[in-house]
Amino acid sequence: MSRPAEPKLPPPREAEYMFDDWTIKVTKSHIMGSQCEVQGGCDESLEPEKRCNLCRYEHILRLPSLPDMVFADNSLKISHKGGGSITFNALDALKCVNVHEENLQVAHAEAWKEARSNCEFAQKVVKPYDWTYTTDFRGALDGNLLAEKSSERIDLDKLRVREEIKFYDEVFLYEDELDDNGSTRCVVKVRVMPSGFFVVFRHYLRVDQVIVRVNDTRLYSPKGASYILRETSSREAPISKLRVDASVYKDADVVWQHLPLVTETVDKLVVV
């Protein structure tokens, strides 16, 4: 009797939308497994690109551990017909995680460790890498799409005006529940309207009893433009100082408006 075939995972699903000279491409696939996908293990003499996702991620990132859920094949890519592009994916986002030191302020970490001295996970705080997977990734630029200084801001009021949504998607990149002590999550969303396209790449972090942090990168390109405005902000507050209830600070899409701004970077991506 022949053995039943190994269940084959479905191939990544792709969606593409053309908006003037821009092409918006979304790729979505399954969660990366926690074991090497190659029987007997990947050949270490192979280029990282030729290894399975897990071996590639481990080799390139050199993080002591990876988030529980990594969508290694998911991405959002926006390309201009002139050749340049900006891409959001988990690998590049995780490359921006600090491998050498933890990012959470010691004061927070100490208070948290005290509150949970019996918790094994709390001991991870002393490990010298950012176990919260906080990223300051702003999108990977390629080709002739270049960043230049700008003071031009995205008109958020204009974006609140109700418009037809011509294309929308949400792409998960990574997530981890920090052993039930909170949440760290990286997601990118894209929305195309008749007046332009808008992207929010968001890293949300909540460490229970300690902190909520939201790092956002927003992109906006008005219809007909050959440039993209890019704004990155980092907002955070200790949970003890937040005057909102848990349903608010557990919602990444709502809580950012209640967090004080810590840093901000504004620039413009231009096709050269």
Name the one range near Zn ion by CB under 5 A: 33-41, 172-180, 181-189, 221-229: 33-41
Minimum distance, C-beta of residue 41 to Zn ion, in the bound complex (Å): 6
Minimum distance, C-beta of residue 56 to Zn ion, in the bound complex (Å): 8
What the block records as the tokens of 45 is 């003499």
C-beta closer to Zn ion: residue 63 or 228: 63
Q: Which of residues 204-263 bind Zn ion (CB under 5 A)?
A: none
**112, containing H or E segment:** helix 106-115
C-beta closer to Zn ion: residue 48 or 64: 48
Name the one range near Zn ion by CB under 5 A: 1-9, 18-26, 29-37, 188-196: 29-37
Minimum distance, C-beta of residue 6 to Zn ion, in the bound complex (Å): 16
Residue 72 in the binding site for Zn ion (CB under 5 A): no
Q: By C-alpha distance, which of 259, 174, 178 is closest to 214?
A: 259
Distance separating alpha carbons of residues 220 and 230, to the nearest angstrom: 7
Using DSSP's 3-state secondary structure scheme, residue 262 falls into strand
C-beta closer to Zn ion: residue 42 or 269: 42
Distance separating alpha carbons of residues 113 and 236, to the nearest angstrom: 19
Residue 55 in the binding site for Zn ion (CB under 5 A): yes
Residue of 36, 46, 109, 200 interacting with Zn ion (CB under 5 A): 36
Residue 52 in the binding site for Zn ion (CB under 5 A): yes
Q: Is 55 in contact with 40 (CB distance < 8 Å)? A: no
Minimum distance, C-beta of residue 55 to Zn ion, in the bound complex (Å): 3
Residue of 26, 32, 42, 193 interacting with Zn ion (CB under 5 A): 42
Residues whose CB falls within 8 Å of the CB of residue 54, separated by 6 or more in sequence, listed in order: 32, 33, 34, 35, 36, 37, 66, 72
Q: Which residues of 106-135 are buried (b: 16+ CB within 10 A; e: fewer)?
A: eebbebbbeebeeeeebebbeeebbbbbbb
C-beta closer to Zn ion: residue 52 or 90: 52
Q: Which residues make up the interface to Zn ion (CB under 5 A)? A: 36, 38, 42, 52, 55
